[in-house]
Structure 1
Amino acid sequence: MDSVAIMLAIIVPTIAAILGFAYWYRASNPRAEYRPDWAYSGRVELVVWAIPALTIILLGGVAWIGSHQLDPARPVEGTGPPIRIQVVSLDWKWLFIYPDQRVASVNTLTVPIGSPLQFELTSSSVMNAFFIPQLGSMIYTMNGMVTRLQLRADNEGTYQGLSAHFSGDGFPDMMFDVHVVSQMGFTDWVARAAKSSEAMNAESYVKLARQSVDDAKRTYRLDDPLLFQAVATQHIPAGPGPSLDREAEVSPRSH
């Protein structure tokens, strides 16, 4: 809206000036001064160049301020304690690690309402894109790198998260559920996940990282709180990514 207002401040006077000049310098107006030898006016040059320059400065300022306000890594305020969530995009599933709560989940993300959600994201193989449309701010995941995203959920409910970047045969099914629960409900979920019979560590991660479309939504107790760092720093080797060999042994539907 600010950009539109700034541009209208130029467009509207310009249109008015066109109509005014056309009316004043019409053939039937004897008061219009005819000056065939006129060539230059410093005041006209000042107006002609100053107004566009000011417009560019103002539009640039609006873009600069707005871009920093919408920075995905900019902290957001909340009504609850911040929750740190580490995200790994796999072929073709999502792993969510809660290092402070010592739990993890696959294809399901549970968060408390009102809390600032501090996401750290990486990829196990090819570049992907993490996106929860109802919460906003799509962001890429890349192997060997960590991107950061700050979100907050203001309403309880179940939403749909997805991959927004084509990453191979299993891409269409690379979705995950987002459960926004109360603060007490999140505490209860963490307690249940911590009692899971399945553990998330380097060994189980390597098995999970094998290419497959895994529709199951599982929770784990987190045995290795530094697992995300090992993936992001490539201490755990990256996956092969989608194969161009149509006879490859790995099937997207294998579990």
Structure 2
Amino acid sequence: MKALRAPLLSLAFLLAGCQSVLMSPSGDLAVQQRNLILTSTVLMLLIIVPVIVLTLWFAWHFRASNPKAHYDPEWDHSTILELLIWSAPLLIIIALGAITWVSTHKLDPYRPLDRLAAGRPLPTDARPLVVDVVALDWKWLFIYPEQGMAAVNEVAAPVDRPIQFKITASTVMNSFFVPALAGQIYAMPNMETTLQAVVNRPGEYQGFSANYSGNGFSGMHFTFHGMSEEDFARWVAQAKANGGDLSRDAYVKLAQPSENVPPAFYATVAPGLYQAILTHCVQPDDPSCLSRMQAPLPGGEAGMPSHPNSSD
């Protein structure tokens, strides 16, 4: 026992720092996803546990030293046993299929929320807080179009107010993930994904990229603040008071690869910056700008302009 004490104490010490945030989230969408995990696990255990128990019981009961065990080498079929073997898993599969179909539509990240929490429907006059999210190398840019400000590696939202994240990336694919809030969703260049969410408890929650994107990936973390409406207004005012100007030139400098970037704020944002980032048109002469690619050709048709070195 003394030999096992040190390894057990070490294991307990390591596990003491673990946080089961996925099992105790603070956002209704994450709570529903947690409940889906628990329901699916219980349904599968209805098959797994009896199979394990019966396997051990059969091995013990039909051991060679048990004279009471009935041995019938001619036995090959039992209708009751066949019904149990096939009907129970079939019922579980049907139940899991129905739950998957319903939850796929109900928890669609693009679907507007219809409730703030269990038993609390969404008020008819509720307006979502829109946050434009840009995954950079290797940091996160959050633009608040309604508030006219932006933040790097820090984001906040009022408690019990729907949030609409519009997500894209500057160069490579990333994955936007706040475990306490909702499931992960990918951020891809020249594409926009959407995540509807709500936070139900005030606090500070960790967010990060869940998709490897290069050297600085391990430091691509941010803090999500859930706060009251009054605290959120103060957070916005403080960000505007201490922030600079996010012009297009400032964005180009910000988008350069950098690692472990501390939080920063911008009091103003250039008009149409997020849409320009989405279409790669921050710099008008960028050859990857979608507006240029779709510009009318001399013949009047839309298409990509010819490469200057092409023979066409």
Cross-structure match for 1:215:
262
The Cα of 1:47 is off from its aligned counterpart by 9.5
Contact 1:193–1:219 under 8 Å retained in 2: yes
The Cα of 1:148 is off from its aligned counterpart by 0.9
Structure 2 residue 107 is the aligned partner of structure 1 residue 61: no
Q: 1:157 to 1:219 in 2, by over 3 A?
A: farther
Q: Counterparts in 2 of 1:135-214, with a 5 A limit? A: 135-195=181-241, 198-213=244-259, 214=261
Within 2, Cα distance between the matches of 1:2 and 1:157? 27
Percent identical across equivalent pairs?
A: 40
Among 68, 93, 111, which residue is 2:139 paired with?
Answer: 93
The Cα of 1:109 is off from its aligned counterpart by 0.6
Secondary structure of 1:64 counterpart: helix
Instruction: List alignment gaps of at least 5 residues for structure 2.
Output: 1-37, 63-69, 75-80, 117-121, 289-312
Residue type of the alignment partner of 1:57? I
Residue type of the alignment partner of 2:237? A
Contact 1:193–1:221 under 8 Å retained in 2: no
Secondary structure of 2:225 counterpart: strand
Cross-structure match for 2:299:
none
Residue type of the alignment partner of 2:101? W
Cross-structure match for 2:166:
120
Contact 1:7–1:55 under 8 Å retained in 2: no
Within 1, Cα distance between the matches of 2:47 and 2:142? 49
Q: 1:157 to 1:6 in 2, by over 3 A?
A: closer
The Cα of 1:193 is off from its aligned counterpart by 3.4
The Cα of 1:9 is off from its aligned counterpart by 8.0
> What do the CA deviations read for 1:193-234 (whole angstroms, capped 9, x no partner)?
34555222322111110111222422331231x211111122
In the alignment of these two chains, the number of paired residues is: 228
Contact 1:196–1:221 under 8 Å retained in 2: no
Among 57, 74, 79, which residue is 2:111 paired with?
Answer: 74
Within 2, Cα distance between the matches of 1:229 and 1:120? 11
Root-mean-square deviation over aligned CA pairs: 3.6
Secondary structure of 2:201 counterpart: coil
TM-score between the two structures when normalised by the length of structure 2? 0.59
Larger deviation, residues 146-155 vs 184-193 = 184-193
Cross-structure match for 2:67:
none
Cross-structure match for 2:175:
129
TM-score between the two structures when normalised by the length of structure 1? 0.71
> What do the CA deviations read for 1:11-61 (whole angstroms, capped 9, x no partner)?
969x7xxx9xx9xxx67xxxxxxxx9xxxxxxx999998776655433311
Which structure features the higher share of helix residues?
2
